Structure 1
């Protein structure tokens, strides 16, 4: 080193060499390159959004298949039931597989299943068997998104990926991705079914394009979970120790089926019971009911955060109570053949669904250990999605009793669940990990 190099330079200020990314940029733009990039959690948000789109786009089409294709009410509601048959095992298995192989591979598989599901559903005009198989694949895809995608969002909504996020960001973003995707999918499908061309094909073709686009986006998302050297048969990973936590069993499991039971009845079953009042606008009503419920659920995210409390179960309790009230409105709407009351029921149930999704995910993320996050998330959604079987149960029981009587029983069960949650929560707070 020469003497000149060791002398301080008092006449100039040395600047660091520009980075490769900075070359060619003017000096007027001081923003770092990273600010122009999509946040890691947002990439996964898009994947959950796209898969949820495919899972719920079928809901407003139920009335179309019943009216235009003359499928029986039992078969139409069976389309909902087989969806759950695909969804439940995916929820229980996908999380454990992602603990071993990573979140990204499983999420990409979920997007592939979603594309396959929509592709098979587009063949629906050839026969109902294509609708049944397509719905099965859609259920598998949503199961992967709920168990793996929401866990991935949670892990990317904290340091070092997102240091500014708070403890509730993961649950809020995960529930919002689901409700926004479900709502927009239903809106597009319903509008096409009412006024668009080839309504039994076009909605599914659009979803395939959406899913492929988001698959390319999520491809660049960072992995957030490694196996940690886990060896042995994969099925050993299915064990979820935190599942035995008393708060999960006595609070979360009791309440979570009502998250989607109310929704399935309000925007899946109710439109078929108001055909006399809606007439040729039945598909518009079915679409509006779905979008209203999911739109309200998305819009109340900030309020859900305030209602939830780790020292109580008021978020889940509020969800169950609102579901019971919404079902009462459904009963009155059917008796009065009132479109206004039907839409009002969806508003109330939308509030409940928003509270339930946020609080349920927050409970899971509080109870689960790091190893159990994906597994317990899958179990939570598996129990929640049992609620989607409600229309199938109602259709099967109509040979024994009227719809109003059956729905009244549902209201009674919801009230019982509400009381059980209130009785149990103080004894089993999440801070005390009791197994």
Structure 2
């Protein structure tokens, strides 16, 4: 996408995107640090699997409206005026989680979702604009994916390790995030925020009515698998084998952190996939999702911690590929003047996947289906979505 800069836009260097990237990573850290502590809260508070999965999924309830609102506000007022309050909300969410009882945990997870919603669409658009202003527009999706995923990886790993070995684990696990946010605020403050682009006709940019159709027919069946894959690895599989490992907190921290690192490792594949014809990129990106969910069904059947770890790596890889390809798709298709809003809407669809662990837990309790059977059902739905994307890609071509 070709963009021109207005005269009043500030000069941007090739490293200025790092300020926005650190802010994205800090909010991503806060979003994911709760995951390895699920087992601890189950043990200490006597919570059911459905309750902790609902607590995990409540994050999405706060995130979805904040994504749309944050995208619109950042398109109108700039990226930095939205990102700074998002960092403050992320810090407040960690403080609520440190309180430790059930009510504060629900409130903290909801507020973490609001912070993430305000930050992720805004931050991804900000990184894209900063990269374009520095002459490296194609690097925007890769940089925003790496920044978010780095936070997603480090947050649960550090929180799990702290909870395993430090005193007062439900408090000390959240302290590193507070330090990171304190460092991210001045980094974001110094980053150029008033970047406005005049749209230039581009063969890849689509008209608004066609973009809406693209959302409904292509991105809606694709986007939920981005975080649907991640959520299975983060919140569902580790709880199935928690009683089979000596140190469940450490095991969960390793599986969630390793999965997120695999997501970063997947970015080069996403870059390579962009060379394919546009209608083929998203169906090919779904292949690791299908492999990961099939592996999850096998791990749920064997209840092997090693199988859960390997499956988490595959699902994390699937997350990285789909996240990159989806962001690249929407940032290529959207009008630069509404980039924040379009990115936020896409990410709203992707975060619907966070409901998967809760839906699996409810289906297990109500339908009495085993976890392997439920995951095979999910695999079937993912296969249908992939088939639809193949058909839609051919029609688009």
> Structure 2 length normalisation: TM-score?
0.90
Q: Determine which of 366, 370, 378 is the counterpart of 1:410.
A: 378
2:306 aligned with 1:340: yes
Alpha-carbon displacement from aligned partner over 1:189-238 (angstroms, at most 9, x marks no partner) = 0101211221101122221121011101111111244599xxxxxxxxxx
Aligned to 1:289, which of 238, 243, 255? 255
Asked if the contact 1:194–1:284 (Cα under 8 Å) also holds between the matched residues in 2, the reply is: yes
Matched, 1:353 2:323: no
CA contact (8 A) 2:301 2:371 kept: no
Question: Which of 293, 297, 302 does residue 268 from structure 2 map onto?
Answer: 302
Work out the CA distance in 2 between the residues paired with 1:54 and 1:243. Answer: 36
Corresponding residue for residue 219 of structure 2:
252
Match of 1:261 among 228, 236, 239: 228
Q: Which whole-Å CA distance do the structure 2 matches of 1:83 and 1:249 have between them?
A: 24
Task: Please state how far the C-alpha of 1:318 moved relative to its aligned partner.
Answer: 3.0
Change (3 A) 1:134 1:176: same
Contact 2:262 2:320 in 1 (8 A): yes
Pairwise mapping of residues 265-284 of structure 1 onto structure 2 (< 5 A)? 265-278=232-245, 280-284=246-250
For 2:390 and 2:255, how far apart are their aligned partners in 1? Answer: 30
Shift of 1:148: 0.3
**Structure 2 CA distance for partners of 1:175 and 1:394, relative to 1, 3 Å:** same
1:168 is paired with a residue of what secondary structure? helix
Give per-residue Cα distances to partners, 1:54-113, cap 9 Å, x unaligned: 000011111111122221111111111210010000111111011111111000011011
Q: Which of 346, 349, 359 is equivalent to 1:393?
A: 359
Aligned to 2:297: 331
> Unpaired runs of 5+ in structure 1?
1-33, 229-239, 430-435
- Verify the 8 A CA contact 2:93 2:111 in the aligned structure 1: yes
Structure label with greater radius of gyration: 1
Structure 1 residue 70 and structure 2 residue 36: aligned?
no
Equivalent of residue 126 in structure 2, options 152, 157, 168: 152
Distance 1:181 1:79 in 2: 20
Aligned equivalent of 1:44: 20
Corresponding residue for residue 87 of structure 1:
63
Map of 1:201 onto structure 2:
171
Which of structures 1 and 2 has the larger relative contact order (alpha carbons within 8 angstroms, sep 6+)?
2
Matched, 1:222 2:222: no
The equivalent of 2:141 in structure 1 is 171
The match for 1:134 is: 108
SS at match of 1:153: helix
Q: 2:346 aligns with which of 380, 390, 395?
A: 380
RMSD: 2.0
Distance 1:136 1:220, change over 3 A: same
- Please state how far the C-alpha of 1:428 moved relative to its aligned partner: 2.3
1:192 matches 2:162: yes
Cα drift, residue 184 of structure 1: 0.4
Work out the CA distance in 1 between the residues paired with 2:161 and 2:109: 20
Q: How far 1:38 moved relative to its partner?
A: 8.5
Distance, in Å, in 2 between the alignment partners of 1:224 and 1:410 is 43
Shift of 1:315: 3.8
Is residue 2:29 matched to residue 1:53? yes
Gaps of 5+ in 2: 1-10, 199-206
Contact 1:259-1:320 within 8 A present in 2 as well: no
Taking structure 1 as the reference length, the TM-score comes to: 0.83
Per-residue displacement from partner, 1:278-329 (whole Å, max 9, x unpaired)?
Answer: 2x32222211111111101112222220022462344422332222221121
Cα-to-partner distance string for 1:234-283 (whole Å, 9 max, x where unaligned):
xxxxxx946844333222221110111111112211111112422x3222
Contact 2:263 2:316 in 1 (8 A): yes
Partner residue, 1:422: 390
Moved over 4 A (4+): none
- 1:123 equivalent to 2:93? Answer no
Conserved? CA contact 1:83–1:136, under 8 Å: yes
Distance 1:243 1:282 in 2: 48
The count of corresponding residues between Structure 1 and Structure 2 is: 377
Would the aligned equivalents of 1:48 and 1:145 in 2 still touch at CA under 8 Å?
yes
SS of 1:324 mapped into structure 2: helix
Work out the CA distance in 1 between the residues paired with 2:138 and 2:195: 19
